[in-house]
Structure 1
Amino acid sequence: MTITLPVTMRAIVLERFGSPEDSLKLKDVPTPAPTPGHAIIKVKAFGINHAEMHMRRGEWAEYMPIIGIECVGVIVSSLPATASSGPALEPGTPVVTLMGGLGRTINGSYAEYTCAPLTNIVPIPRTLVAKLGWARLGALPETYATAWTCLFRNLDLQPGERLLIRGATSSFGAAAVKLAVNHGAVVSATSRKVERAERLEALGVTEVLLEGTALGEKLISEGRKFDKVLELVGNSTLLHSLKLVRRDGRLCLAGFLGGLAPIEFNPLLQMASGVHFSFFGSFVFGSDEFPLTDVPLADIVDLVASGKLEAEPKSVFEFGESGVREAHRVMEAGQAGGKMVVVVDSAL
């Protein structure tokens, strides 16, 4: 298959830090050219992530004029890293990609085309793409790759274990709930809003707890302990969460829904003995220590396509200034309620 690259493409460009209206502008920019070890992807859809909100507001250490840390699409062209590193990907191959510097050190996915490292690209069978469509597929890469790694690498979650997920109604949290329930874990989940309890229970959660500053103290006073804790609220609840893990249990910090403000942490005084505490940031995907091939993304897509795992995007927006700006407004207001996806080109 031969796909011709246009000279220019449409992209949402981060012109300045600030509100969605002030920052995000639709422009015609040069289409990227392939470089060794990279592929050009015709973007079909991309997910909206909190990292991009922080980039837009100037709160992230690294950002590019075109943000966006993930997308799904088809290969246009690719070049192997070296002559001896084997063939690259065939044009027309459906793929998902995430991280690898996208939106941070190389222009990202808020565009009609992007250039991504081959190390961070996973081919997806065309039959699965046809079953799901680009919008549903676009809800998976970053969220499910990160959730899977936190649950089954950092936490080593086993069937029957008691898992607490703090921040469970975020798109990341909901993905973790679904994967954990599918694996046979007993899941307790927190949300800031009582009205979201029914939705969590429908996903298989056995207990919904109202998130807030007093929750940790309440659970500690009751002597509650969990085998594993996935902490997505972040620094503001971390110290209490550490006290909710049983001896030899594990806690993984992987989100900052409560904000990026630092805390003072003295392990000698504030951490229980025998508790395993780790952090995971998806920006490491594609590195030698964290190859994306470790994550069974194609298997996750197959579970969704077969109906064994529900992963509908909460909202779908059209590509353009109005659609992307509205997605950012919803995210900033904390009203997403799940994964939001922008569709650039719906044709299969």
Structure 2
Amino acid sequence: MSETMNAIVISSFGGPEVLTYQTVPKPAPSPGEALIRVRAFGVNHAETHMRRGEWDEHHPITGLECVGTVASCPGGELPLGAKVVGVMGGLGRTRPGGYGEFASVPVANVVPVETGLAWEDLAALPEVYCTAWTCLFAVLDLKPRDTLLVRGATSTVGQAALHLAVDTGAVVTATTRREERFGWLKGLGAAETVLEQENLDEFLLGKGHPRFDKTLNLVGNRVLLESIRLTRTGGRMLQAGWLGGLAPVEGFNPMVQMESGVHFSLFHSKVLGTPEFPLSAIPLQDIIKKIENGAWDAKPAKVFEYQDIQSAHGMLDTHDAGGKLVVKHQF
């Protein structure tokens, strides 16, 4: 077996053009790891920040997730040839990620799945649905009939959160910066749609809208304080996305600006697969089955060939993808 592999590499920091194709050493899995033969991978906004040198850590072979088959597993935890998804566990950050032909992943971050979905359809699910499920149920403790505000609902995690929340019986208010997407969000089960805007708290509360039991803020720091103000006393506000950019909250003074009694949490998907947030707690197989059965539309917005990674990143940079972007390997 060859000791090298093909990979997409961040050759320097910059635009999509810095992503180059190289032959590199193939990862060698240690006990407790599985080597995945990558068949497809999702493209994530975090990877564009890594490409530009804006993230806290990155590996030149990035890619936070992948789907494929087990090529090697020294500890025997997974059978050879098993169909699996790999997500986080240092992928694309501290170890070569899904942009390579092979990826060595801690077994805690590998989930065997049974599915007839095409590789590219399966690749649209791991990071998005694992993140959304953990946000809603492990952190926000979402219950039937809870009122939930999802800010950034047309994002990939937002769409997954909407599916999951509606399925569990929550009453969802979804925001988007595109008014033409209101009907589409209603079709996914949103009870209410609102135009994403600055000072959303003043807009809604000024109209007499009740505060929400739970708030999922995917827009980020720019709307952090108003998202807290939109959450009722005793409710929970979770920030888990940075669609509005990475700039910190300027002049943050909790005593003056934060509401009393609102629980504020942060979730970063890099902790998926840790003892605190085990992948085994996420019903990924059930989620896949719902998608296979047509209950939810989770198809990627666009599928790119492996040689078109620069085009994929270019589309992601526009923030107009409209859904998950996926890249297929052809090795």
- For the aligned pair, the TM-score class normalised by the smaller chain equals over 0.9
Mapped pair 1:315 → 2:297: no
- What amino acid sits opposite 1:241 in the alignment? S
In structure 2, C-alpha distance between the alignment counterparts of 1:6 and 1:43, rounded to whole Å: 15
Cα deviation digits, residues 245-275 of structure 1 (max 9, x gap):
1121111110010000001332222222221
Q: Distance in 2 between matches of 1:194 and 1:96?
A: 35
- Matched residue type, 1:248: G
For 1:177 and 1:309, locate their aligned partners in 2 and report how far apart those are by CA, in whole Å. Answer: 10
Secondary structure of 2:174's aligned partner: strand
TM-score normalised to structure 1 length = 0.92
CA distance, structure 2, for counterparts of residue 33 and residue 150 of structure 1: 33
The amino acid of 1:334's aligned partner reads H
Q: Distance in 1 between matches of 2:98 and 2:8?
A: 9
Q: Distance in 2 between matches of 1:266 and 1:119?
A: 39
Equivalent residue number for residue 24 of structure 1:
19
Asked if the contact 2:302/2:326 (under 8 Å) is kept, the reply is: yes
The gaps in structure 2 that reach 5 residues or longer are none
CA distance in 2 between counterparts of 1:9 and 1:198 reads: 45
TM superposition shift of 1:345? 4.1
What amino acid maps onto 1:166 in structure 2?
A: R
Post-superposition CA distance 1:73-128 (Å, at most 9, x none): 00000122xxxxxx321110000010000000001010211111111000002xx1
Q: How does 1:222-237 map to 2 (within 5 A)?
A: 222-224=207-209, 225-237=211-223
Kept in 1, the 8 Å contact 2:199–2:226? The answer is: no
Residue matched to 1:83 = none
Instruction: Provide runs of 4+ in structure 1 moved above 3 Å.
Output: none
Q: Conserved in 2, the CA contact under 8 Å of 1:216 and 1:237?
A: no
Cα deviations across residues 180-219 of structure 1 (Å, max 9, x unaligned)? Answer: 1111111111111112222212211121111121323211
1:309 aligned partner, one-letter code? W
Match of 2:229 in 1: 243
What is the match of residue 221 of structure 1?
206
Aligned-partner Cα distance in 1 for 2:170–2:178: 23
- The 2-side partners of 1:15 and 1:58 are apart by 11
Query: 2:141 matched to which residue of 1?
Result: 156
Q: Distance in 1 between matches of 2:13 and 2:259?
A: 41
**Whole-angstrom CA distance in 2 between matches of 1:223 and 1:260:** 31
Equivalent positions of 1:1-80 (< 5 A) are: 5-21=1-17, 23-80=18-75
Q: How does 1:328-343 map to 2 (within 5 A)?
A: 328-343=313-328
For 1:205 and 1:138, how far apart are their aligned partners in 2? Answer: 25
Cα offset for 1:48? 0.6
Matches within 5 A, 1:122-137: 122-125=111-114, 128=115, 130=116, 132-137=117-122
Q: How far, CA to CA, are the matches of 2:164 and 2:252 in structure 1? A: 31
Q: Which residue of 2 aligns with 1:101?
A: 90
1:76-225 matched pairs, under 5 angstroms? 76-80=71-75, 87-125=76-114, 128=115, 130=116, 132-224=117-209, 225=211
Output the amino acid matched with 1:318: E
Tell me the residue number matched to 1:293. 280
1:8 partner letter: T
Aligned identity (percent) is: 52
Question: Among residues 260, 267, 281, which one is paired with 1:280 in the alignment?
Answer: 267
Q: Measure how far apart 1:309 and its partner are.
A: 2.5
Q: Do the aligned partners of 1:178 and 1:310 also contact (CA within 8 Å) in 2? A: no
The number of equivalent residue pairs is 329
2: CA distance between counterparts of 1:277 and 1:158? 18
- Structure-2-length-normalised TM-score: 0.96
Hey, what's the Cα distance between the residues in 1 that align with 2:205 and 2:171?
19
Give secondary structure in 1 for the equivalent of 2:91: coil
Aligned-residue offset at 1:306: 2.0
Which amino acid counterpart does residue 7 of structure 1 have in structure 2? E
CA distance in 2, matches of 1:242, 1:157: 17
Listed as ranges, the gaps of 5+ residues in structure 1 are 81-86
Distance 2:230 2:208 in 1: 8
Q: What CA RMSD, in Å, does the superposition of the two structures yield over aligned residues?
A: 1.3
What amino acid does structure 1 have at the position aligned with 2:136?
Answer: L
The one-letter amino acid paired with 1:108 is G
The amino acid of 1:124's aligned partner reads V
Deviation, structure 1 residue 147: 0.2
Counterpart secondary structure, 2:237:
strand
